[in-house]
Amino acid sequence: MVRVPCPCCGYPTLERRDAYEICHLCIWEDDGEDDATTHDWGGGPNGVYSLTDAQANYLAFGTMYHPDNNTTVTGNDSAKITALKQELMALYEALPGLAEGEMVAHWKAILDQERGLRKAEEKRWKDLNR
């Protein structure tokens, strides 16, 4: 499995860089902006958040958004979604310590957890729109 790290949260959630993929952990949309002047940049697909701001928010709140300015349609994560994300982060964090023979099964567990997270997010979206 080939993944690249999200420039915001650092977890291997993206298939490739600079493809406008959205990280399912921190919600950063990767537009390729990650140079030394990132603190000066705002706008683009991530709205008012520069990568520097988003990284600080991720460390403090577990998402690129500040809880007082979360512009996602679903708002801040539910307790269930937060728990699923924490379990997924633990799976990602275990990757470097695995033997080659353990990788396939571990990536299967990661992909299963990612599917579970997507399903929980879809359910939340549907519940909010009833």
Q: What is the pLDDT of residues 7-65, one digit of tens each?
A: 999 999 999 998 999 999 999 999 887 765 666 666 688 888 888 889 999 999 999 98
Q: Does the pTM exceed 0.85?
A: yes
- Domain final residue pick, 72, 97, 120: 72
Query: By residue range, what is the domain housing residue 23?
Result: 1-72
Q: Same structural domain for residues 41 and 90?
A: no
Instruction: Tell me the residue ranges of DSSP E strands in the chain.
Output: none
SS3 38: helix
Please classify residue 28 by burial: count the beta carbons closer than 10 Å to its beta carbon, then call 0-12 exposed, 13-18 middle and 19+ buried: buried
> What value does the mean pLDDT take over residues 81-100?
96
CA pair distance 82, 44, nearest whole angstrom = 26
Q: Same structural domain for residues 47 and 5?
A: yes
Q: Give how many domains the chain has, as a whole number.
A: 2
Q: Same structural domain for residues 96 and 45?
A: no
Q: Same structural domain for residues 68 and 111?
A: no
- Domain final residue pick, 72, 95, 118: 72
